[in-house]
Amino acid sequence: MKDGVNGVALGVFIFFFVLVTAMGFLAARWRKAENEHSLDEWGLGGRSFGTWITWFLLGGDLYTAYTFVAVPAAIYAAGASGFFAVPYTILVYPLVFTFLPRLWSVSHRHGYVTTSDFVRGRFGSKGLSLAVAVTGILATMPYIALQLVGIQAVLDVMGVGGGENTNWFVKDLPLLIAFGVLAAYTYSSGLRAPALIAFVKDALIYIVIAVAIIYIPIKLGGFDDIFASAGEKFAKAGAGGVIPAAGGQWTYATLALGSALALFMYPHSITATLSSRSREVIRRNTTILPLYSLMLGLLALLGFMAIADGISVKNGQLAIPQLFENMFPDWFAGVAFAAIGIGALVPAAIMSIAAANLFTRNIYKDFIKPDATPKQEAQVSKFVSLLVKVGALVFVLTMDKTVAINFQLLGGIWILQTFPALVGGLFTRWFHRWALLAGWAVGMVYGTVAAYGVASPTQKHFGGSSDEIPGIGEIGYIGLTAFVLNVVVTVVLTFVLRAAKAPEGVDETTADDYTVDVGDAGVEPELPPATAGTSH
């Protein structure tokens, strides 16, 4: 790391940061609605985004600063096993092609803003809806925190904030400023802000990766030397080489599959999806989003390049920012740092909006103020989005960065347990609401307890997301094991409850709700019952 502040890189970083800040506030005037005081407008951008806006928004949502920093960091630390992120993003798009259009259609017709809205409407169960909402909020919080970790990693490499002995306020002031700006324009512009900024963010990321994948190997002597250096490092560490040992194959496969199932269960993924203006926009996006997976594969190779460059850092999250600082001219290092920083702001904004929408619709409105008006809903959601970001900021400033990463892994285990209720409910009403709730509870408890028992060199508990699979004896992804238990409990209890003729909730949806598109008869969304002053 260079001594002092890298002034040129910092200047370029500040330029782009000011640019996207201005865009964030101007977004309030972009596609301005007649009535801004509703969750449809503030939280979903008026459900008006076309194919390209949705593509950039979903890409900005799913491929975050954490992705930019952590995926190659995993390669840097563990070799090819870190590539699990590439196959899981390949697996996910055929999967979501089958259910996201159905979710868009039913949500558009009934005015659903969150997945919990759909679950409540489909199964007639506020309890199950609450479980899905709480899980979504819990899983999202550490994810937001990791975006701030990404910004902090870039600031550290640029030398901003002083050393470890610097007063905490001075050291964290740049992060506090970035947080304050993010909170302000998210509050004023809602989902329109990250949608507009996503264009800049993705353009910068594509430029940086395109340059890095050509320029850095030339400086390091080519890919032969890069892979040779990586193989030598892992051989010395006793890992056998770049390719993991056969014992790690179950972990790799289950982590990839479980992560694919979980990705679009996150509230921010659904928020970006429901902001689209038509079902066809969703279908087109699931076919072109794999372009980001190509980018991710190239991005992962940066981990091997960091090894070849001889980078040695205690915090693996600093490896790629440090690689950029070492390899690039200062001005282009600033562009790369801006790509990471803006890559944190876009998803953090969407995630905070998604979590706030869940609280407003499925906790505040369902259990605290059933007669809340659309304007009151929007105000509560804006306020909660601020609280969510404050919580993430406190998490980052008070806890070790490794803890933040491991809690994000725990969030992935949790969010996967909402899959049966959401995706199952999109295709069948056979599952009983109480069985789904019981299956969710079993999956959550097992996943949490199993993760609690995993130790790492730096943590006694929650040290990872893999453990022995009961009955098989192999090490696998805890989230997928919990998901299997969840499904088994749900199916068995559904048989039992149906045999006992346990009361089922009222399904407010019909079969054609799941296939309608813009222009079809009756496709216009129903007015939320809040407009009439009744419970939604």
CA 256 to CA 248: how far, in whole Å? 12
421-435 burial, b for 16+ CB within 10 Å, e for fewer?
A: bbbbbbeeeebbbbb
pLDDT in tens, 235-246: 887 665 667 666
Of 138 and 5, the structure prediction assigns the larger pLDDT to 138
Quote the pLDDT of residue 529. Answer: 43
Residue in 92, 88, 87, 119 with CA at minimum distance from that of residue 103: 119
The residue-averaged pLDDT of 259-280 equals 92
Task: Please count the CA atoms within 13 angstroms of the CA of 149 that sit on its side-chain side.
Answer: 30
Report pTM: 0.90
Q: What is the predicted pLDDT for the residue at 423?
A: 96
Q: Are 404 and 392 in contact (CB under 8 A)?
A: no
Cβ neighbours around 536 below 10 Å, total: 22
Confidence of residue 519 (pLDDT cuts 50, 70, 90): low
Residue 523: is it exposed, middle or buried by C-beta count within 10 angstroms (0-12/13-18/19+)? Answer: middle
As a whole number of angstroms, the distance between CA 45 and CA 351 comes to 14
The pLDDT assigned to 380 comes to 94
Let me know the angle formed at the C-alpha of 340 by 338 and 346, rounded to the nearest 5 degrees: 95
What pLDDT, on a 0 to 100 scale, did the predictor assign at position 526?
Answer: 46
**Structure confidence by residue, pLDDT tens digits, 46-96:** 888 988 888 888 887 777 777 778 888 888 888 888 888 888 888 898 899
CA 379 to chain centroid, in Å, comes to 24
Distance separating alpha carbons of residues 13 and 261, to the nearest angstrom = 35
CB atoms within 10 A of CB 367: 10
Helix (H, G, I), strand (E, B) or coil at 465: coil
pLDDT tens for residues 8-39?
998 999 999 999 999 988 887 776 666 667 88
The mean pLDDT of 275-301, rounded to a whole number, is 87
pLDDT at 525 over 70: no
Token digits for 263? 């990705």
Q: For position 531, what pLDDT does the model report?
A: 37
At residue 533, the pLDDT reads: 36
Structure tokens at 74: 């995993």
* pLDDT at 521 (0 to 100): 47
| Three-class DSSP labels, 249-308 | HHHHHHHHHHHHHHHCCCHHHHHHHHCECCHHHHHHHHHHCCHHHHHHHHHHCHHHHHHH
Q: How does pLDDT run across 203-233, given as a tens digit for each residue?
A: 898 899 999 999 999 999 999 999 999 888 8
Question: Which tops the pLDDT comparison, 234 or 129?
Answer: 129
Distance of CA 244 to the CA centre of its chain: 27
Q: At what angle do helices 478-499 and 401-416 cross, to 10 degrees?
A: 30
Q: What is the pLDDT of residue 314?
A: 77
- What pLDDT is stored for residue 534 in this prediction? 36
Query: Hey, what amino acid is at 509?
Result: T
The partner residues of 477 in beta bridges, in order of sequence, read: 466
- Residue with the bigger pLDDT between 39 and 169: it is 39
Buried b (16+ CB within 10 A) or exposed e, 40-70: bbbbbbbbbbebebbbbbbbbbbbbbbbbbb
Query: Comparing C-alpha atoms, which of 275, 320, 390 is closest to residue 157?
Result: 320
- At residue 442, the pLDDT reads 98
Q: Would you state the pLDDT for residue 395?
A: 79
Q: What angle do CA 477, 483, 486 make, to 5 degrees?
A: 145
Quick one: which of 278, 265, 287, 277 has its CA closest to 415? 265
In this model, does residue 164 exceed pLDDT 70? no
Best-predicted range by mean pLDDT (9-18, 164-173, 176-185): 9-18
Q: Output the 3-class SS for 171-198.
A: HHHHHHHHHHHHHHHHHHHCCHHHHHHH
CA 195, 199, 200, 202 dihedral sign is positive
Of 294 and 440, the one with more pLDDT? 440
For residue range 379-434, list pLDDT tens digits in order: 999 999 999 988 888 877 777 766 777 788 889 999 999 999 999 999 999 999 99
Q: Are 281 and 105 in contact (CB under 8 A)?
A: no
- CA–CA distance, 27 with 198 (Å, rounded to integer): 12
The predicted-structure confidence for 460-503, as pLDDT tens digits, reads as follows: 888 788 899 998 888 999 999 999 999 999 999 999 999 999 99
Q: Is the pLDDT of residue 144 over 80?
A: yes
Element counts in the chain: helices (H) and strands (E): 23, 2
Token digits for 171?
Answer: 């050291």
Please give the mean pLDDT across all residues of the chain. Answer: 86
Q: Is 130 helix (H, G, I), strand (E, B) or coil?
A: helix
Query: What is the predicted pLDDT for the residue at 162?
Result: 53
CA distance readout (Å), 137 to 265, 278, 385, 412 = 12, 27, 11, 12
Share of the chain above pLDDT 90, in %: 47
Cα angle at 346 between 262 and 203, to 5 degrees? 105
Please list the residues that pair with 276 across neighbouring strands.
49
